[in-house]
Every structure is written in structure tokens, then in C-alpha cells.
């Protein structure tokens, strides 16, 4: 299995680093950032396969971050995390070009599955 390079973006620091550590334990190369601005900066410096992105963040919102990253670097797949219970928000993300969405709190196995699907397409 090729090593996945994942950029994890969420404003909750605790969540980002804990989730990152869990993914690392599963053999994935993960970097976590806590703002959209940091994420945009980071993708200019390094190549990632997948961005896991919280939709609702202070500063630049999730969908805007997705658009800007895509401008910087093509080929990154996006998996959105939504805190809201409504599927509509996620559906909107899919219409904007995200690969999938997950509702928080997420199930780690679901996330793994979606990431694998994303890179195998």
C-alpha cells in the first residue's frame, strides 16, 4: 500500500493532533494544521494526496479553503468533516467538488475507507 500523505485541517487543536496521531498509528503520513491560512501555506510547500477539512472554521471557512487549495495544487482529494447534523451541508460540499463528507464525531474506520477510495479513483 502506497503511503498516503494527508493534510488535516480543523480549528480544534486537540482534535487535529489526536486524530493525526491515530492516523499515524495506521501508517499514514499526516500533517495537522489549525487554520485555513496555515493549510494554504503548507500545500505550497509540500505535496499531499488528501485534505481532511472541517467545514466550519473561524477565518477562512472550509469550502473557501478547499477552493483556494485547489487553485494552488491540483489533484488533492478533499474529505469534509461537518459538525452539523444535516446532510445538506455535506451535499453542498460534494457539489463544490469534495470527494466525500463525514459527520463529526467521525468514525476512524469510515475516514480510512473514504481516504483509500479517494486515492484509488
Partner 1 sequence: MKFLRRIIPDYWADEGKSEGGRFRYRRLWKYLVSLTALVSLAPLVIMTAVNYYQYQKVLRVEMIHPISQLASNTKRSLESFIEERISALNLIIHDKSFEDIADQKRFIAVFRNMKNSFGGFVDLGLIDAEGYQRSYVGPYELKGKNYKDQDWFHEVSLRGVYVSDVFMGYRNFPHFVIAVKNERAGGDFYVLRATVDTETPIRKIISPLDLRPSTDVFLINRKGILQTSSRFYGRILEKMSLAVPPFSSRTEVLEEQTREGQSYILGYAYIERTPFILMIVAQPKALMENWLSVRRDLVWFLIGSIVIILLVILWSSTYMVNRVREADLKRAALLHSVEYTNKMASIGRLAAGVAHEINNPLAIINEKAGLVKDIAALTTEDFPQREKIIKLIESILVNVERCSTITHRLLGFAKRMDVHLETINLELLIKEVLSFLEKEATYRDISVNFHIPENFPSIQSDRGQLQQVFLNIINNAFAAVEDRGRIDISIREDKDTVAVTISDNGHGISEEDLQRIFEPFFTTKKEGGVGLGLSITYGIVEKLGGRISVESKVGQGTSFTVILPAKRTRF
Least distance CB 25 / partner 1 (angstroms) = 5
**C-alpha angle 66/47/11, rounded to 5°?**
45
- How far is it, in rounded angstroms, from Cα 79 to Cα 38? 18
Least distance CB 36 / partner 1 (angstroms) = 17
CB 44, CB 16: distance < 8 Å: no
Least distance CB 44 / partner 1 (angstroms) = 28
Task: Choose between 43 and 81: whose C-beta lies nearer to partner 1.
Answer: 81
Task: Choose between 106 and 119: whose C-beta lies nearer to partner 1.
Answer: 106
The cell for 101 is 463528507
Least distance CB 43 / partner 1 (angstroms) = 23
Task: Choose between 17 and 70: whose C-beta lies nearer to partner 1.
Answer: 17
- Of 101, 87, 113, nearest to 54 by C-alpha is 101
Task: Choose between 20 and 43: whose C-beta lies nearer to partner 1.
Answer: 20
Please report, as ranges, the residues that interact with partner 1 according to CB under 8 A.
12, 14-15, 18-19, 21-22, 25-26, 83-86, 88, 103-106, 108
**C-alpha angle 69/73/77, rounded to 5°?**
70
Amino acid at each position: 500500500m502506497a503511503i498516503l500523505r494527508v493534510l488535516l485541517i480543523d480549528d480544534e487543536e486537540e482534535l487535529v493532533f489526536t486524530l493525526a496521531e491515530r492516523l499515524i498509528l495506521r501508517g499514514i503520513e499526516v500533517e495537522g494544521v489549525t487554520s485555513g491560512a496555515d493549510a494554504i501555506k503548507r500545500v505550497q510547500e509540500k505535496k499531499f494526496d488528501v485534505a481532511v477539512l472541517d467545514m466550519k472554521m473561524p477565518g477562512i471557512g472550509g469550502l473557501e479553503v478547499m477552493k483556494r487549495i485547489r487553485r494552488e495544487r491540483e489533484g488533492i482529494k478533499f474529505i469534509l468533516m461537518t459538525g452539523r447534523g444535516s446532510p445538506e451541508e455535506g451535499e453542498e460540499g460534494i457539489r463544490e467538488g469534495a470527494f466525500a463528507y463525514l459527520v463529526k464525531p467521525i468514525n476512524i474506520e469510515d475516514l480510512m475507507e473514504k481516504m483509500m477510495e479517494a486515492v484509488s479513483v
